[in-house]
Amino acid sequence: MKIVVPVKRVVDYNVKVRVKPDQTGVDLANVKMSMNPFCEIAVEEAIRLKEKGIATEIVVVSVGPAQAQETIRTALAMGADRGILVQTDETVEPLAVAKILKAIAEEEAPQIVLLGKQAIDDDANQTGQMLAALLDWPQGTFASEVAVDGDKINVTREIDGGLQTVALELPAVVTSDLRLNEPRYASLPNIMKAKRKPIDTKAPGDYGVEIAPRLNVLKVTEPSKREAGIKVESVEELVSKLKDEAGVI
């Protein structure tokens, strides 16, 4: 069984994001970048399936600038087998990413495409669903548990009312949620081995995909600062302020 795991290079989740002075976007100068946390969880799950003897090969894919090779190398150090970098310096929207992944899936013929449910930079939560639609494959989104059973995969999903388990015929698209697993740290020997693992560099045009943006960002602004809260002396005063000042009741 082959598993394709798309990963994205994003601003590290520990970094405080800054908006450019001209409000054209997020300031990425001298900012630490890392693998999107949900993508890291997807890589870990693929490695666990390989350790169980279910998966035989893990192919990591990233769409982004040349520096995204570092993100792929991180996944290779964790235990993936090889990587594909679709290199572009342009901002690629979810639909274009899904089209590129569709072409790669058709070329690689995996049984599972396992990706993070969303990226922490744009929080779009669209690529997995779009990819499943383009491939006409079943999808299991927001997975908190994954179990492969022959030619089926059972995905336990996190939904508003609790948990839902769906059985999907392979091949399928699965997107990982936060509680699926806890990613491992790459050991130093594996980091050294990852430097020798192959990464193929492609361009969007190699897959016949036009990545011109369909959306135009007019302005990016920081959220307004929250005002300090106050303490109330009684329930009556709380109700009064909620009703008369906040206007929420």
Instruction: Write out pLDDT tens, residues 139-171.
Output: 999 999 999 998 999 999 988 888 999 999 999
Mean pLDDT across 104-118: 96
Give residue 76's pLDDT band: very low, low, confident or very high (50, 70, 90): very high
- pLDDT single digits (tens) 41-63: 999 999 999 999 999 999 999 99
Report pLDDT for 135: 97
| Residue 165, domain extent | 2-246
Q: Diameter of the chain by CA atoms? A: 69
Distance CA 219, CA 76 (A): 37
What integer best gives the mean pLDDT of the chain? 93
Give residue 245's pLDDT band: very low, low, confident or very high (50, 70, 90): confident
Q: Answer whether 242's CB lies under 8 Å from 249's CB.
A: yes
User: How many domains does one find in the chain?
Assistant: 1
pLDDT at 246 over 80: no
Percent of the chain past pLDDT 70, that is, above it, reads: 100
CA 17 to chain centroid, in Å, comes to: 18
Nearest to 176 by CA among 26, 51, 46, 87: 46
Distance CA 164, CA 37 (A): 23
* 103 vs 15, higher pLDDT: 103
Nearest to 110 by CA among 174, 17, 191: 174
CATH number at residue 146: 3.40.50.620
CA 44 to chain centroid, in Å, comes to: 13
